[in-house]
Structure formats: C-alpha cells, structure tokens
Structure 1
Amino acid sequence: MKTSFKFFTLCATLIGLTACNAKTKKQPTLYAENQVMEKVTHTEPNKQYIKVALLLDTSNSMDGLIDQAKAQLWDIVNELSYAKCGNGKPNLQIALYEYGNDKLNAREGYIKQVLAFSDDLDDISKELFSLTTNGGQEYCGQVIQTSLNQLDWEKNKDDLKLIFIAGNEPFNQGHVKYTDASANAKEKDVTINTIFCGDYEQGISTKWKTGAQLTSGDYMAINQNNKTVHIASPYDDEILILNKKLNKTYVVYGNQGKRKMAMQAEQDKNAAGYSTANAVSRTVSKSSHLYKNKSWDLVDAEEQDEVVISELKEASLPEELKGKTATEIKTYIEDKRIERKDIQDQIQELNTKRKVFISKAKTTTDNGLENAMTNAIKEQAKKKNYSWK
C-alpha cells in the first residue's frame, strides 16, 4: 500500500497579546560553603505552546517523502522560531506517530507513538531519521483518535494545537470513523490538517479534503517524490564555523549528558548528509529559542531553574568542574552562557543576510512540503494573534 507521508508540519501557536508578554522571576538563592550566592533574574518562558502531532504514513511508497521531511525539518523549525505574539515567543512541542506499516501491531491498527510531545529537537530529528517503510493498512481515523487519546493536549485556550496527517490511501479506511475523530478533535480545540501525496482531485475524492474541513484545517496535495532544493549562500561557511564554536559552549551533566551531546553531533551529521545548506539551517535552529537542552546542558538547565548548582553531586559534573565550589561552577556556567549568546547573535545576524540572498535566488524553486506547511501554519496562527517578524 502506497503511502505518502507528510513531513511534519511544524506549527504555530500563541496567545492573546497580553498573555504573550514574557515575565521575569528570581532564581532561587544558591548556597555553597556557607556563602550566599547572588540572585540572578531570568526571563520566564511563555506558558503558551505550539503543539504539533505529526502522523506519518510509513508504508512502502513513502521513502521520497521521508527524505523530503528530513531535508526540510530545520527550515520549518526556523520559520516557527520567528513567530511572535505581542512581545512574546511561543514554546514548541512536537509529537510523532507512524501508521500503515506491517511491522506495527495489527491489534493496535498498525499505529505506533514514536515520540510523545517533546521540545527536544535533537530527539525529534533522531526519531525522524529512524523511520523505515513497509506495506500495511492505513487507518487515518484511528491514528487521529489515538493521538487525541494519548497526547497531553492540555486546556490552554491560547495554545495552537495542530495535527498534520500525510498519506495517499482513502481517508475513510478502518473501523474508527474519521468524522468521529474530527468531532473529538474539535472538542479539544485541535485543528486537523491533511496532506495527500498525489493528485489534488484524487485527494478530494478519497475524503482528504473533507477530513481537514471538519475542523477548519487545510487540505494540501503535494508530490512526495520532488527533491528538496537547497540553495547555497556566501554566508554558509562562516555559519558552520560558528556551529563548531557553539557546540563547545555546552556543559554536560548527569547520567545522560555525554550520550545527548553525542546525539547532538549525530544530528549535525544527519543534516549535513543532505547538503551544506541544510546543515546551515540546523545551525540556525540551534541559535533560536526553540533549541532547548535543559536535561543535559548545565547552561540551559540553570537558566530554566532545572537544577540548583549547590545541590549537584560531584559525580554528575563534567571533569572540568569536579572539585570546584558552587561559586566557581556558577561563574563558569555564566561565562559559557555569555559566550553562547554572542555566537547565537552572530549566527542570527548572518542568517538575516542569508535569508535575503535565498529569497532572491528562490524565484524558480518550490519546496512543496515546506511551503505547504508554513503557509497553512501562518494562516491558522492568525486565530491566536500571531505575527511573523
């Protein structure tokens, strides 16, 4: 059974103008060796989220679309990173499902949750690159309903909650009616967007357009076998040099620190496997507020109040910080934070010039999936008072 897959469409969310404004809060006072450490004021992240569930058909014919998705992931993330509402920026969480694959459990409708809602972009990239295809039964209604049941959609009315489902078999297959799943999505304020991999009119006749209209979502048809066009720019080499410097600002801690740093390097390599320009797009994503690593990086963890320095055990620290006082560790982390911010600012500045160059060179190119996704997201984001800088 042919499948199409729709690369996950990263999405947009935000909030009422006043709700978008970031607030500040005081970090807890840190104690070390009877010494009271200086209080630090951090910016508190917005509580609003862009929540995107990507439901990807992984039956036999979807290899080309998977490649398209891998190649365009970071461009889509970058477009989402520019979303604003008032003075605030939304957080991003992505969930990933595969369906329609013979390797999956038949009793569960050939459906698998690959990743629950996560803001770890490296994990998302890793799981996307791990997908393989095989023939199977594609049950759109059931995979939509499964994602509604299993995921934590929460009840914040200011969140932008989106499902993107991609495939090329009839939308009404399976014992779970897509109309019932759509009604449940509407109750949860979740918008379903459908991507048919094939002829536009065929997608309409097989109910893909109806599946989107029931929740006021967008229906799109794309050629999943189109190759992604990556445009090189004069700024690419300098951005990639900055990426190497950026990687050196991460300070691992805890049991998974080294493993996660290795994953970061692996996803750098995966992106570069498509082109230099794609590696640049990933570097730009890493310089944005959406790239968060508080579970293994002390710089992000301390800034987001994930850890208290004075409570860290010696064994959880990297070699360069073992034997140091809490004050010394704090100073080291702050230096890395300042260094990282400077590098990220340089990357963003170069990317501004890069975007201008690409916009001029892109008149004869059309990355169908990327354009379809970002256009749909921006249109639906208007309901939540989004703007794009």
Structure 2
Amino acid sequence: MTIDCPAPVGPYVAHRHLFSADHPLLLASGVPLPRVRVAYETYGELNAARDNAVFVCHALTGDSHVARHDREDAPGWWDTLVGPGRPIDTDRLFVVCANVLGGCAGTTASWPAGTRHAPVDVADMVAVHRELLASLGVHRLRAVVGGSFGGMQALEWLLRHPTDAEGYFIVAATSRQSADNLAWNAIARAAIRNDPEFHDSHYAPGGGPRCGLGTARMIAHLTYLSEASLHRKFAREGRRPGTRRHPSPVVQGDFAVESYLEHQADKFVQRFDANSYLLLMSAMDRFDAFAAPDALATAEVPPRVQLFSFARDRLYGPDHSQRIRRLLAARGLCAPHQREESCDIGHDAFLLDVPPLLDAVAGFLRALEPSRTPPSRTLAPR
C-alpha cells in the first residue's frame, strides 16, 4: 500500500520531523512509527506568555492551508473564520493547522517493514498534533476548534487531554458514526476497491483508481448538501452545452446536478490519494469517542466547551451534537449546544459564511481568558 503524498504547494507550508527510533509514536494499534514528517502552517504571532495559540483541526480531506496569509496567497478552506479581524483573529491569536497523520497533503510517516500501512486512529492524529505544538514551544492552547472530522479530533482531544486547552469548539461533528454514515462510507470504499486500477492498493504514484475515487467523492458530496440546497442550485435543469465529455448518455446524463458532481470528482482526484482516503475513512468509522476511558476528572479547572450544529445537516445533524452534550453532562462537564435553524445548506454550511456560526466562535474565544492557575500539565507527547 502506498500513499501518494506530494509536497503541498505554497510558500507558507512548513515541515517538522517528529519522533525517532528512540522516541517513536506508538499508534493505538500498537505499531511504532519512528519518524513522522508533519506539514503545517501558522498564522499570527505566539505571545510572550505562549498562551494565545489556537489549533484548528481540518476535516476529512482538508489540509494545513486553513486561510490566506496575504492578498497574494491562495484562498484557504476556512477563510470565513480565520484571519485578521475574523472570529479566529490572527491579529491577536497564534493559529496552527496541520495535515493529519494518514493525510496526503505533506504529512508522511515511516512505516515499519512488513506492516503495509497500519490503521491510523483519531487518537494518533491528536498525538501528532500535540507533539508538533510542543516542538513549537506552545505551553497551552487557548482553544481547539474543528468542524466535521476536525470536530471529531477536537472531541478526542477534549476527552483524553482536557487540560491542554482553555476551550474546545466543536462544529457539525459526531462522537461516533451512525449506521447511515457507515453505509455511505461502505459504498464509497466499494467504488474505490472495485476500480480495476486499484490493484489491491498497490498502484503507482500518480495513478490508481481515479474513476473509483471520483465516484466515492460524488457519494460523499451528496451527504454534504441538503436536499433543499441541491434543489435550489439545480432542480431539474439540463446540463449546459459543452460540458458532456463522452458521447454516450449512459456514461453522462443530461442534468446539471450530474455535471456538478462530475466537476467535484474531477477536482478531487487531482489533489487526493485513494489509499489516504480509505485510511482516513476507516479512522472515522472506528471512532467511538466515549467508548474508552476519558481524563475529564483530571482537569483542575474544567475547560469550556461549545457545540454547534445545523438543523439541515443530514450527515452530522443536531442529534449527534445532542449525544455529545448528554454524555459530557453525565461526566460533569457542561457543553452548551447551539442549533442553527435558518441555514438550509446542509453539512457544508460549517465552511461557509454563516453569521450565527461566526458570531458563536468569536464570542466563545472572547470569553476565554488564560487560566490564572497554572495547569497541572502542559502539552507533551503521548
């Protein structure tokens, strides 16, 4: 199994080599990784007290480029939230975002011979994030913020390492996949593995199951948008002239929504690796945040937690956030849950300019003050 992991494009992407043969990363599966190269980006400046850092966890197919660094820079995937004067204000805060372990945007690992690629869990991704922050000299975080799969990472961080941050903001996320979520991912995996170019995961860099990966992306994209959003954008409109690439209508149909999904698939296969997608989807499906012991009782001062969901999100709707709220409350931690009713975009709304979400994040961060009581622990590797 190989993961095609080209160096991410952009002058602001940095890399750090973490762990070693003497100090390996021990995966949740028990496999030691002696070397991990992490791709990350930083925004703003770390203050003298080293307590103004915010870590942003990216979603399933995201990367470290969370926002523009300047006007000449390419857009980031969360420009609505991160930047000068934005809710996560880089004029005041030091923001870090890193590509996850198992991703294909610059983060790589040396895998022991004979292991192919051992499974990677969300806990392993958080362990790498924590090691990176320690290497950057961050003593404690102001906040961890994440949406979707990034929210799952933030929840894992909260449960296992609650004293690492003053607060945790979790958007449109889940504590475990539902049967419906698992079913969508099963179909996506089948599309990839049944592509004749998959070759049991041993395809050459730059090749691989492009058709299967594109189909998998189409499947996933349907869960990111609500039915109302798709209808508003496309209804039953026909494909625009000139967008059909194949002569047979069996291969490509007549509707605009098909053209849209094909466009999303084309973009995705240009930037993502099929084995990485399978690895990350498996980590998402295995994630069961409250099944393992947590460390919430070790926090001398409980962190602040905010949950945010969208009523029209058919992937991780309000019921998922409500479950997190109930299970945290059972452990003595209050986590207010804000349910956004007015936006009908669906799951992808967490990435867009939705004022209630932006206001909620800004207010949450304003309310966080560095603890006057030194934490019992500072960021340290697992």
On whether the aligned pair clears a TM of 0.5, the verdict is: no
Larger radius of gyration: 1
Given the two structures, how large is their TM-score scaled by the length of structure 1? 0.30
Q: Give the structure-2-normalised TM-score.
A: 0.30
Greater percentage in helix: 1
